[in-house]
Structure formats: C-alpha cells, structure tokens
Amino acid sequence: MTDFLNAIVALSNFVLVPGAAYGAQLALGALGVTLIYGILRFSNFAHGDTMAFGTMATILVTWGLQSIGISFGFLPTALIALPIGIAITGLLLLGTDRAIYRFYRKQKAAPVVLVIVSIGVMFVMNGLVRFIIGVGDVNFADGARFVINAREFKEMTGLDEGLAIRTTTLITLVTAAIAVALLFWFLNKTRTGKSMRAFSDNEDLALLSGINPERVVAVTWLIVAALATTAGVLYGLDKSFKAFTYFQLLLPIFAAAIVGGLGNPLGAIAGGFVIAFSEVLITYAWKKVLVYLMPENLEPSGLVQLLSTDYKFAVSFAILITVLLFKPTGLFKGQSV
Amino acid sequence: MAEPHLIGEAMTGGYGRGADILHGCTLSVDKGEIAVIVGPNGAGKSTAMKAVFGMLNLREGAVRIGGEDITHLSPQDRVAKGMAFVPQTSNIFPSMTVEENLEMGAFLRRDDIRPTIEQVYDLFPILRDKRRQAAGELSGGQRQQVAVGRALMTQPSVLMLDEPTAGVSPIVMDELFDRIIEVARAGITILMVEQNARQALEIADKGYVLVQGANAYTGTGAELMADDEVRRTFLGG
Amino acid sequence: MTARGFLLYAGMALLIVLTGMFQGWNLALTILNMGLISAIMSLGVNLQWGFAGLFNVGVMGFVALGGLAAVLVAQPPVAEGWNAGGLRLLGALALGAAILVGAVQVWKRKIGGRMRALVMLALLIGGFFLFRASLDPAVDAIEAINPSLSGYLGGLGLPIIVAWPVGGLLAAGAAWIIGKAALGLRSDYLAIATLGIAEIVIAVLKNEDWLSRGVKNVVGLPRPVPYEVDLQRDEGFIATAAGYGLDPVTASTLWVKILYSGLFAVVLIVILFLAQRALASPWGRMMRAIRDNEVAASAMGKNVTARHLQVFILGSAVCGIAGAMMTTLDGQLTPGSYQPLRFTFLVWVMVIVGGSGNNYGAVLGGFLIWWLWVMVEPLGLWAMELITSGMDADSWLRGHLTDSAAQMRLMTMGIILLAVLRFSPKGLMPER
C-alpha cells in the first residue's frame, strides 16, 4: 500500500503537477494564437516573441519595483508588475497593428501574406528583446520558492517520496484559471465579446449588423497582449526567461491551437493540456514510479524513458501530424480545413 | 401618386469596375407590401437587390427610402436608415446561440431589445425552444428563420430577402412564406428575390420580371400570373 | 534579364568589390562564398514559394540534413564502431521502418473500424518498445568506443563532393514524408509542419551521437580543395604568388577560397539554369497556373496535391544540396549552430527581397541579404558609437548600447522585410 502511495506521489511530483503547470502556460499561449486566427484570420508567427516582449516588459518593471523596495511578500514581485507589462505590450501590439497589419487588412491581403508579414514582425520583436535585455538567462522569480517542499511533505506523510509544490506552479494554475474565466466571461457575456465571436463566425454579416471591425481588432490585440504576457511571465517564473526559448515555444503552442481546432478557444485550452501532458509523459523517466509498483526482481534497470527530453518537440509534432492526418479541423471543431 | 416607401429608380451599374449588369432597372415597393423579383438565371435579380442595399456602385439612378435619398450611403448606414438584408448564404453566426444571433442583429440598438426578441419568438415559435442552441446546428429552414429574425432585430421598415427558400423543402417554404406575409402585415415593406417564381408571385403585391438587368414585366402578382407571355417564358407554362 | 536586373547585379558585384578594397579580399571572398550558398537556398525556397506558393518554414531542417550527408559520405568509417554494433543498429532501424510500414498497411486495410485502429495502435506501441530494445544496446556499444574522438559510425569515406547530391536526396526524402502528411491542407498547416520537422531534424543531429556525434561535433571533414599548408609548401605555388606580389600565406588563403567560389558558382549556375528551364517549361506554367488559381487548375483535371508534392521535394532537395555545400565549406558539422532565424527565416527574407517567382531575383536576394547580414554588425557598432559618442565613457547606457549592437541584425532584417512587403511587395526583381 505504501508502495502504491509512493508511486502516486512520485507520479504527481514529476508528471502531474509540472504537466499541469506547463499545460496551463501552453493553453494561455494557444488562446492568443487562436484568437488572432479567429478574428484576423492568420497564423501569427510573432506570438512567441510577443510573449517574450511582454515578459521582458514585466521583468523591467519588476526590477524597477524591487529597486524602490516594493515586494509582494511570499509571492513574486512580477505579479504586481504584470498589469503594467500587459499595458506596455498592449500598446506595442496596437502600434504594430496600426503601422503594419492594418495596411494589409484594408487591402484584403491573402492570409499567407499576413503570415509572412508576421515573420517580419517576429524578427523586429526578437531583435528588440535581445537589444533591450540581452540573450542570456534571466531569473526573476522572488518570494517563497515552495508552498510545500519535499522534505516537509515526507515528514507530514511519512512516505519515502516527497511532493514539492512550487509557488510558481500554484500561481500558474491560479492565474491561468482566472485568466481563462475572465476571457470566457468576456466572450460569452459582454456585448463587445459577443461581437468578437460574431466577427469571427461571419465577418460580412457582422459588418451588416453594424459591428465595427477596427474596434473588434483593437480589442483582440489587447486581449492577446494580456494572454501572451501572462503566459510568458508564468513560463518565465516557472523556468527562466530567455529570448530564444520563447521563440521555440511557438511550435508546441501552434500544435496546441491546431490540435484543439484553430479559432476555437475551448479547443486551445484542451490542446494545451494534451500537448503538455504528452510531452511530459513521453519524456519522463518512469523508473522512479515503477520501482514502487513492480516486484523487486522485475524492477527496471534503465530509466524507462520513452524518448529523451530533447525530443519533446517531436512529441508535439507527432500529435500535430496525427491530428492533421485524421481530423484536420482539430479535436474541437475549428474554423479551417 | 405618392412616392413609394422604397424605390430604386433607373439603376445602372455593376460590381467594381466590371461591365454593367443593371440597365436602368427600377424597383419600388409601398409600405407593408411584398414585392418579388423573378426572372431567368443571370438576369441580375440578386444584383438589383444588392444595388438597392448599396453593395455595388450605381453609375446612374437613385435609391430613396421614405423620400430620403440614400444612393451614396454604405450598406451599414442603410441599416441605420431602417433597411435590413438577409443574404442568401452565410446569413447566420453558426457558433453562436439563436438568442445571441438575435442580439447581434440588434447590435446598433442601445434601447431594450427584449420586446423585439419576444416578437421574433412569437413569429417563429420554434426559435424560442431552441434559443440556447448554436444556430449552426439547426435545420435549413430553422436557420432561415434565425436569419430573418436577426434582420428583424433592427426593427427595420424594409426587409430584403435574397432567395430565402433556396434549399428548403416545399413544406418549409410554404411555412416561411406565411411568416413573411405576417411580417408584411405588421407594416414592414418586403423586397425579395425568388427562384420559386410561381409560389412567390402568389403572395406578392407586386412582381418584377427582370431580363438582362432591365425591367421586362411589372405588375401585381396576380397580373403576372395571368399574363400568358410571362407564364410561358418564366413560369414554365 | 532586364536592364534593371543587370544594374542590380552590377551593384551587388560592386558591393563585394568595395568590401574587398576596404575591408580585405579575404572577407569579400568569405561573403561571396556564403552568398553563393545562400543564393542556392534562396533558389530552393523560390521554387516552392515563387512557383507554387508553398510556405516552407523548415528550411533549416533540410539544410541540416545536407550537412549530415557531408558527414555520412565523406568521413572515414569507424571500424571499431561498426564491429561493436553497426549491423545490429542497421537491423534495428530496418525493424523500425518495417513496423511503420506494417502500421500503414494495417491502416490501409478497409476492415473493421475499431479493430483496425486497435491493431495499429498495438503494433505501433509494441513495435516501439521492440525497436528501442534492439536499438539501445547497439547505440550504447557504438557510443562507448573512444567517445572523445569518435563514438560514432563515421561515414563512407567517399569524396565530399558526392555528399552534395546525397544531401539533396536526404532532404528530398524528408520532404516526401512531410509533404505526404501536410500538403493539401491549408498553407498555415504546412508552415507549422515544416517548422516542426526542422526542429526534429536538429534534435536528432544533437542527440543521436552514433550518427553525427551530437553536440560533440564532427570536425575536420575532408575537403574538395587543397589545404593551405600544402599550398604553402608547394614551390610552384609560392613562385606564382610571388609573381602577383603576395606572400604565400595570404595567397594560399585566398586561392582556397577562390577554388570554393568556383565550385559553388558551377553548382549555382547549373541549378539556376535548370530552374529557369523549369520555369519556362509547360510544367512551370502549370505550376504557376496552380499557384494563381488552385480551384480552376484542379477543375481542369490537374492533380494539385501531386504537383505540389513534386515541387516541394525539388525545392527541399536544393536546400539540402546547399546545406551539404555549407558544411563542406565550414569543414565541420556543428548541430548546435543551426538556428531557425538564421537558416529558415533569413532565407525567406532573401526570397521576398529578391523577388519571389523570379529566379534571378532570388539569387540576387541571396547575395544582398547575406552581405547585409555580415555588414550590419560592424555598421551597427559604428552607428552605436556615433550615437553614444556624446555620452560619458563609462555611462551604463553607452556600455549597454554598444554591447547590444550585435543584436541589431535581426531587427534590421525584420525592418527590411516589412519595408519590402509594404512598398515593393514584388521585390527588387519582380516576376515579369
């Protein structure tokens, strides 16, 4: 029985809890991608770098707050800085839209043109981030590291395995839940939110109904700024901030959005968790769990890791391809084929 | 004779810079009347209606509603002037519920829209039962009802329908025509394009037969039905 | 080519000559060589985007496969490695392939829906463990042999030039797999799929030490041209160099680079010639017809997806060839150095700036953007020094700005791309 409990704890500690946190971060990222796809109708390659920019802005504000002696008790200071980071990113995105995207929207350019334009934006944002904060690792998490650490857990329960819950994990889950709840409340209950869904559903009819497209687009960018910055800051708190890592997040985020069905917010959330758990499950060394479950003489000698962690992209990719082959509109019905 | 409520007078024009499709076409409807545009394929029926709604540029002619010249207004502005348009396809928001579709129809209104929603539900009772359901999941006929309901939400004085019965079964078609008569009785002017010319002319106060973008025959529905030439050429005997 | 084209090419040549005169011929030739390779990559992407409107953002992966080909073809085989587990490893790979083919066959059978899926799943999962069980010991055995120097299987020991077409073939194979899965869906999906395959190729190169030594890199690849030290010992060469008034060391460096330029130029010209012929052929016309109106083309009975697969494979193969050439030029395979911004998106900037749909434009874009990529760094530093010249020598901002000048590259490329898209969307040399 204790063995079984130990196995469960080990599983939670190394797979379930980190997977849930990562899933929440991907889900927030994928929501941003899916909203842009639904409203502006293109795949935004600059999304990873938007997340990086938002995180950078938040980090700079965090440093500013710390230098004047403001902190947030056992929570990271970055949480106070987050709204300001979101505001700065929102301004940047609105500016980008005004200066760049709007021109192509007026021309009714093909989606692929907008994708290429977003690649240009990606370059500029990436350069901007590198220029301002550099390419190195930035660790900006402060406050208490653990809500409950492994040693305390062991003492409390008397088990051999510890369950450590990091503050950042808890913050990630709580913040993501709040953000998603707010988003869905906004989309389903407010006039502006409904007009966004209407615009995403049927642009021409939305125009006939008197919905102002420019306003819908502006609101979308602001929401995307909030989602991207939040996702980026949570990811950065959980791991660390590095410009290039954020660019690489593009692949699992797109995979999550497509697996869930592009343009479908619920799907984006589901997709985020599907991708995150598959990555963690397949790249986890199962030995730690199996030693408790197997009889002694059958205990595995190796790590029992299906794929090395370096192949985590391969996992999102494989899921993506499977979905594209068998259900191109995603698990939840998306907009495109 | 008094000016009709809605008139598109001697309209000439086409899409973008392309060739003219309409050649001096005139359409007019009185308040609370039903006018039906029929004619062979490619006669410019839908185009004529879109011209009235401002979806293409007129080179000549004018459109007036209640005596006011609206020739140069955009479709959105015409909605504010009391026109409502139900496109032939993609005329609902499929992922939104029936009720949300109606709310979106009333997007420009700032007053209480509850009574209007109730009126639409009274007109199409099935929609009241399905109001929490996504419009895209409804049957073809029900979707058309949603589309008409959405258009009615602006409390228009003119309702324009582009082939509302395309692709629905004959029973549903009769039902839909009954509803349209009911809408007209409420004082709303109706202009519609129909493929099912015979049935449409039966309910029409006024019929327009267009050929190659110009008026070929005009009269009351009954007159056109009685006209041998029209019957032979357009109604199949 | 039009008069405008000639002028642009002359201008490009002038830029390289000026670089040589002011910054040294060594740098000018280095830029020229990478410019030639970039031009080939750019041609490859232009084949896909310009001809067919296919959106491939996995250029990096195909380039890296070309690099792998250089190792597999040219490095001497490691006998100990082969003895330790070479055949076992090949057997394991064959088993893996057989399992995949088996799974596909099961899927293609039109029998019992649920049963079919279960059988396929069981085959795949069971097969995976079987595959790992046979692969892992072989890999361990190979990687255990002298890991600091070899620890891999090596290659075939053939001349490295052979690696160029082989690189093309490897890239073509990968393109076939990815094209089968993602072509025929909307363009964004192909983009994401290619982005993914590129990351996977790099992950394989980084992690499969038995194949490519991973992050330990393969250095000292054989060359298709003489080594500088050999030239410097060659009496005849010293005499010729002296005739031009050059010392043997400088002369040998330059001569080696010129030889590379010659080889690369031949490949570029051949590919350019073929691409031009293809563009003008009925096949090329059909491609562009499909690009301009897919629906109409497929209504005319053209098999759009099959055509797309063809051109996707061809373009990827060209990128693979360029990748093999680049690794040859570098003399080493360093999987850690493949960055998507540099190898995928920069090539895209080349194509768009040069003029998509126009082969000469793509080539010009390759040279020009590569030249800029190299030059922006010193130019940025110079600009930063100019901007900060009024500041205190030890001010924080001045230090930060000069340190960050190196990051100007990406921003400059982005701005150039956006400017071209906005003001001259057809590029410097538009498609007629």
Residue B200 maps to which CATH number? 3.40.50.300
CB contact under 8 A, A120 and C195: no
Share of chain C above pLDDT 90, in %: 49
**Is pLDDT above 50 for C335?**
yes
H/E element, C294: helix C294-299
H/E element, B161: strand B158-162
What is the rounded CA–CA span in Å between residue A24 and residue B25? 60
pLDDT digits (tens, 9 = 90+) for B173-191: 999 999 999 999 999 999 9
Indicate the number of domains in chain A. Answer: 1
CA distances from C201 to C54, C220, C316 (A): 20, 22, 14
**Is pLDDT above 80 for A302?**
no
Residue C112 — very low, low, confident or very high, per pLDDT cuts 50/70/90? low
Indicate the number of domains in chain B. Answer: 1
Domain boundary assignment for chain C: 3-77+154-423, 78-153
Print burial letters for C221-231: b (CB count within 10 Å at least 16), e (below 16): bbbbbeebeeb
Q: Which domain holds residue B71?
A: 1-82+196-237
Report the candidate in C276, C295, C301, C291 with the shortest Cα–Cα distance to residue C48. Answer: C291
Q: What is the pLDDT of residue A318?
A: 84
Q: Which two tokens stand for residue C63?
A: 């380039």
User: From the CB coordinates, do chains C and B have 3 or more pairs under 8 Å?
Assistant: no
Share of chain B above pLDDT 70, in %: 98
Report the candidate in B221, A116, B237 with the shortest Cα–Cα distance to residue C427. Answer: A116
* Mean pLDDT computed over A97-111: 92
* Mean pLDDT computed over B143-167: 92
Q: Is residue B141 part of a domain?
A: no
Residue A150 — very low, low, confident or very high, per pLDDT cuts 50/70/90? confident
Q: What is the mean pLDDT of chain A?
A: 89
Lowest mean pLDDT among A142-146, A321-325, C107-111: C107-111
Q: Is residue B185 part of a domain?
A: no
Distance from C236 to chain A by nearest Cα, in Å? 49
CB contact under 8 A, C55 and A115: yes
Contact residues for A21 (Cβ-Cβ < 8 A; gap 6+)? A168, A169, A172, A173, A234, A238
**Is pLDDT above 90 for B227?**
no
Q: Is residue B139 part of a domain?
A: no
Q: What is the pLDDT of residue C297?
A: 84
pLDDT digits (tens, 9 = 90+) for A14-52: 889 999 999 999 999 999 999 999 999 999 999 999 999
The contact set of A with B (CB < 8 A) is 191, 194-195, 197-198, 200-202, 204-211
Among A197, A201, A211, the residue with its CB nearest the CB of B107 is A211
Give me the DSSP letters along C319-360. HHHHHHHHHHHHTSB-GGG--HIIIIIHHHHHHHHH-TT-HH
Identify the residue whose tokens are 């997977």: A19
Q: Is residue B137 part of a domain?
A: no
What is the rounded CA–CA span in Å between residue A96 and residue B65? 42
Most confident of A85-99, C125-139, C216-230, C338-352: A85-99
The contact set of B with A (CB < 8 A) is 75-76, 79-80, 85, 87, 90-96, 100, 103-105, 107-108, 150
Interface ipTM: 0.89
Q: Are B84 and B158 in contact (CB under 8 A)?
A: yes
Among B79, B93, B105, the residue with its CB nearest the CB of A202 is B93
Among B75, B85, B107, the residue with its CB nearest the CB of A195 is B107
What's C3-77+154-423's CATH class?
A: mainly alpha
CB contact under 8 A, A191 and B107: yes
What is the rounded CA–CA span in Å between residue A207 and residue B206? 30
Q: What is the pLDDT of residue A195?
A: 95
Q: Are A97 and A58 in contact (CB under 8 A)?
A: no
What is the rounded CA–CA span in Å between residue A283 and residue A293? 19
Q: Which two tokens stand for residue C293?
A: 């109106």
Among B79, B92, B96, the residue with its CB nearest the CB of A210 is B79
Among C195, C409, C417, the residue with its CB nearest the CB of A251 is C195
Distance from B231 to chain A by nearest Cα, in Å? 36
**Is pLDDT above 50 for A54?**
yes
**Is pLDDT above 70 for B143?**
yes
pLDDT digits (tens, 9 = 90+) for C254-305: 999 999 999 999 999 999 999 999 989 999 888 888 888 888 888 888 888 8
Residues from chain A contacting residue B150 (CB–CB below 8 Å): 205, 209
CA distances from C81 to B146, C141, C143, C160 (A): 72, 8, 8, 21
Bridge partners for A241 per DSSP: A138
Report the candidate in C120, C50, C134 with the shortest Cα–Cα distance to residue C87. Answer: C134
CB contact under 8 A, C189 and A328: yes
Distance from C327 to chain A by nearest Cα, in Å? 23
Q: Which two tokens stand for residue B180?
A: 């349209």
What is the rounded CA–CA span in Å between residue A194 and residue A186? 8
What is the rounded CA–CA span in Å between residue B114 and residue A125? 47
Phi, psi at B107, each rounded to 5°? -55, -35
β-strand pairing of B214-219 with B206-211: antiparallel
> Which chains contact B through at least 3 pairs of Cβ atoms less than 8 Å apart?
A
Residue A337 — very low, low, confident or very high, per pLDDT cuts 50/70/90? very low
CB contact under 8 A, A210 and B76: yes
CB contact under 8 A, C404 and A130: yes
Q: Is residue A285 part of a domain?
A: yes
Q: Which two tokens stand for residue C427?
A: 């590029």
* Mean pLDDT computed over C43-69: 93
Provide the number of CB pairs (under 8 Å) joining chain A to chain B: 56
Q: Which two tokens stand for residue C409?
A: 């590259």
Q: Are A198 and B93 in contact (CB under 8 A)?
A: yes
Cα angle for residues A219, A220, A222 (degrees, 5° grid): 65
CB contact under 8 A, B95 and A197: yes
**Is pLDDT above 50 for C87?**
yes
Number of Cα atoms under 13 Å in the Cβ half of residue A112? 17
B74, B88, B89, B104: which to substitute to probe chain A, counting the most A Cβ within 10 Å?
A: B104
A208, A211, A335: which to substitute to probe chain B, counting the most B Cβ within 10 Å?
A: A208
Q: Is residue B191 part of a domain?
A: no
Strand order in the sheet with B189-193: B83-86, B158-162, B189-193, B34-38, B206-211, B214-219
As a dihedral over the C-alpha atoms of residue C18, residue C20, residue C24, residue C28, rounded to 10 degrees, the angle is 120
Residue A166 — very low, low, confident or very high, per pLDDT cuts 50/70/90? confident
Contact residues for A82 (Cβ-Cβ < 8 A; gap 6+)? A58, A229, A230, A233
Q: Is residue A233 part of a domain?
A: yes
> Which chains contact A through at least 3 pairs of Cβ atoms less than 8 Å apart?
B, C
Report the candidate in B177, B204, B178 with the shortest Cα–Cα distance to residue B191. Answer: B204
**Is pLDDT above 60 for B1?**
no
C131, C305, C387, C418: which to substitute to probe chain A, counting the most A Cβ within 10 Å?
A: C418
Q: Are A202 and B92 in contact (CB under 8 A)?
A: yes
A37, A119, A310: which to substitute to probe chain C, counting the most C Cβ within 10 Å?
A: A119
Q: Which amino acid is at B95?
A: S
**Is pLDDT above 60 for B223?**
yes
Q: Which domain holds residue A175?
A: 2-326
Q: Are A318 and A274 in contact (CB under 8 A)?
A: no
Distance from B84 to chain A by nearest Cα, in Å? 8
CB contact under 8 A, A208 and B107: no
Residue A297 — very low, low, confident or very high, per pLDDT cuts 50/70/90? low
**Is pLDDT above 50 for B159?**
yes
User: Taking CA atoms, what residue in C is nearest to A123?
Assistant: C414
* Mean pLDDT computed over B16-31: 88
Among A121, A255, A316, the residue with its CB nearest the CB of C414 is A121
**Is pLDDT above 90 for A329?**
no
Q: What is the pLDDT of residue B147?
A: 95
Q: Are B51 and B13 in contact (CB under 8 A)?
A: yes
Question: What 8-state DSSP symbol labels residue B82?
Answer: T
Q: Which two tokens stand for residue A219?
A: 């609101």
Among B85, B90, B103, the residue with its CB nearest the CB of A202 is B90
Q: Are B169 and B176 in contact (CB under 8 A)?
A: no
Q: Is residue B40 part of a domain?
A: yes
Coil, strand or helix: which one is B59? strand
* Mean pLDDT computed over B61-68: 91
Q: Is residue A107 part of a domain?
A: yes
Q: What is the pLDDT of residue C132?
A: 87
Chain-centroid distance, C-alpha B167: 16
Distance from A16 to chain C by nearest Cα, in Å? 22
Residues from chain C contacting residue A56 (CB–CB below 8 Å): none
CB contact under 8 A, A201 and B150: no
End-to-end CA separation in angstroms for chain A: 50
Q: Which two tokens stand for residue A233?
A: 């800051």
Most confident of C37-46, C49-58, C409-418: C37-46
Q: What is the pLDDT of residue A300?
A: 65
Coil, strand or helix: which one is A149? coil
Chain-centroid distance, C-alpha B211: 19
Lowest mean pLDDT among B57-66, C90-99, C325-334, C383-392: C383-392
Total count of residues recorded for chain A: 337
Q: Which two tokens stand for residue B153?
A: 């939400």
Q: What is the pLDDT of residue A47?
A: 96
Distance from A269 to chain C by nearest Cα, in Å? 19
Bridge partners for B231 per DSSP: none
Q: Is residue B134 part of a domain?
A: no
Residues from chain C contacting residue A328 (CB–CB below 8 Å): 185, 189
Residues from chain A contacting residue B87 (CB–CB below 8 Å): 204-205, 208
H/E element, C52: helix C52-52
CB contact under 8 A, B93 and A197: yes
CB contact under 8 A, A201 and B95: yes
Other Cβ atoms within 10 Å of C155 Cβ, number = 22
User: From the CB coordinates, do chains B and A have 3 or more pairs under 8 Å?
Assistant: yes
Q: Which two tokens stand for residue C243?
A: 């005739």
Q: Is residue B161 part of a domain?
A: no
Q: Is residue A337 part of a domain?
A: no
pLDDT digits (tens, 9 = 90+) for B80-106: 889 999 998 899 999 999 999 999 999
